[in-house]
C-alpha cells in the first residue's frame, strides 16, 4: 500500500492529469441518470442529511437534461423513499433510528420530494423510486436502457461515495460506457467526494468536466440537425 500525506483532492487532480489512463470514451447513444436530487440530500438549509459540493450542480444537471431531451434520449430521475414500516429498507435501515435516518425518508414526504431547482419534464422524463444505493437495483432501469439501445450512461447526483459509486459500478458491470461529470456530483465531505471520484476514474468510469459532456451532446445535436 502506498502512503501519502496528500489530500484526497490533491490525489484526484493528479489522477486526472495522468495521460496513461485510457478513457472508455463516449459511445453512440446515452442515458442521463440523475441520482436522488431530492430535498433530503440537496436542501442544506432544511436537513442535516443534505450536502453541497458545487453550488451550480443542479444547474448543470438541468443543462444536461435539456440536451438529452433535444436528442430524444432518455432522462431518468431517481429518489429514495420507504414505507411507513421501513421494512423495504431492510438491514440498511437498522443502524440508527432518528428523524434523519435513511429509513425515515417516507413516501410522499418533503424529504423524498425532488429539489425545486430540478427542471423535470413529467411528460417525457422517467422517474424511479429506489430503496438501495444503485439506481439499477430492483428498478426497471436496465430494461429502459435495452429498449433505448443506449451504450453510454451519464450519472449525476449524490452521494459520490454512495449511490453514484454504486450506480457507476453496476453500469460498468452491465457493459456500459460510464461517464461521471465532476461538477454534477456531491458528497458530505470533500475527502469522501474526491477519494471516490479518483477510484471511479481509475477503475469504473470516465470522470470529466461537465463541459466536455455538454460538448459531446452538442455535437450529437448538430449531427441530428444536418
Please, how many CA atoms are within 13 Å of residue 19, restricted to the half-sphere of its CB? 0
Cβ neighbours of 169 (radius 10 Å): 19
Residue 126 pairs with which residues in a beta bridge? 76
Residue 114 pairs with which residues in a beta bridge? 38
Listing DSSP states for 99-148 in one string gives: TTSGGG-BTTSTTTSBPTT----TTT-EEEEESSSSTTTTSSHHHHHHHH
Annotated catalytic residue 214:
no
What percent of the residues of the chain are helix, what percent strand, and what percent coil, each to the nearest 5?
40, 15, 40
Closest to 54 measured CA to CA, from 190, 216, 202, 191:
190
Q: Which of 118, 163, 184, 214 is catalytic?
A: 163
Residues acting as catalytic residues = 163
Amino acid at each position: 500500500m502506498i502512503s501519502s500525506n496528500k489530500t484526497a483532492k490533491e490525489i484526484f487532480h493528479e489522477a486526472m492529469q495522468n495521460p496513461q489512463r485510457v478513457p472508455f470514451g463516449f459511445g453512440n447513444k446515452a442515458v442521463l441518470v440523475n441520482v436522488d436530487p431530492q430535498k433530503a440530500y440537496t436542501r442544506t438549509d432544511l436537513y442535516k442529511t443534505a450536502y453541497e459540493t458545487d453550488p451550480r450542480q443542479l444547474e448543470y444537471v438541468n443543462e444536461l437534461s435539456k440536451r438529452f431531451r433535444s436528442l430524444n434520449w432518455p432522462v431518468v430521475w431517481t429518489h429514495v423513499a420507504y414505507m411507513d414500516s421501513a421494512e423495504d429498507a431492510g438491514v440498511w435501515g437498522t443502524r440508527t433510528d432518528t428523524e434523519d435516518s435513511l429509513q425515515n425518508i417516507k413516501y410522499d414526504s418533503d424529504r423524498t420530494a425532488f429539489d425545486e431547482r430540478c427542471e423535470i419534464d413529467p411528460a417525457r422524463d422517467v422517474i424511479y423510486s429506489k430503496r438501495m444505493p444503485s439506481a439499477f437495483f430492483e428498478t426497471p432501469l436496465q430494461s429502459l436502457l435495452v429498449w433505448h439501445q443506449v451504450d453510454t450512461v451519464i450519472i449525476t447526483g449524490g452521494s459520490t461515495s454512495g449511490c453514484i459509486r454504486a450506480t457507476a459500478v453496476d453500469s460498468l458491470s452491465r457493459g456500459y460506457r460510464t461517464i461521471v461529470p465532476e461538477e454534477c456530483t456531491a458528497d458530505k465531505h470533500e475527502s469522501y467526494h474526491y477519494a471516490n471520484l479518483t477510484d471511479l476514474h481509475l477503475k469504473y468510469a470516465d470522470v470529466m468536466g461537465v463541459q466536455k459532456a455538454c460538448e459531446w451532446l452538442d455535437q450529437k445535436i448538430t449531427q441530428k440537425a444536418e
